[in-house]
Amino acid sequence: MVNYCVVYALLWILTMIAYSLPWATVDSKLYVGWNFTIPFSITYLIGLLLGLIVLIVKFRPVMMTIIAGILMLLGIVEAFLGLGTLTVLAGFVGSKVNTEAGIGFALIMSPQYQQEL
């Protein structure tokens, strides 16, 4: 049987990588998840921090992992809303906004926190 801490640490590292990948391009400038933290994906960051707490403590806080996953999903939704707003505003000034793969990878990884390990 695989220790849940090893699996959870791997999930946490993958979500941290997803947060560090490009989420959007405005004209030719790349923005990663860290650029979206305020105000659009602050809940994703809180979910990452809760996930780190789960790795540090010695007991198995299943409820905290569920809450972390929900917060991370909310952060992704907020980031998509921010991208939509950015796209509308960029249309007024003639800029081009593209969604990058990092936000999709973060969306795929976030629900994994809601599964009981």
- Is residue 114 over pLDDT 70? no
pLDDT tens readout for residues 1-30: 467 778 888 888 998 898 899 988 988 899
Q: How far apart are CA 114 and CA 117, in angstroms?
A: 9
Burial 56-73 (b: 16+ CB within 10 A, else e): eeeeeeeebbebbbbbbb
Tell me which DSSP letter residue 110 carries. G
- Indicate the pTM of the whole model: 0.83
Higher-scoring residue by pLDDT: 66, 38: 66
The pair of three-digit structure tokens given for residue 5, joined into one six-digit string:
């801490």
Higher-scoring residue by pLDDT: 115, 1: 115
Tell me which DSSP letter residue 73 carries. H
Sign of CA dihedral 52, 58, 60, 63: negative
Q: How far apart are CA 94 and CA 71, in angstroms?
A: 33
Q: How many CB atoms lie within 10 A of CB 116?
A: 9
Q: How far apart are CA 3 and CA 107, in angstroms?
A: 25
Q: How far apart are CA 86 and CA 77, in angstroms?
A: 14
Higher-scoring residue by pLDDT: 58, 78: 78
pLDDT at 1: 47
pLDDT tens readout for residues 61-113: 788 888 888 898 898 898 899 889 889 999 999 999 998 999 889 888 888 76
pLDDT at 88: 92
Domain boundaries defined on the chain: 4-114
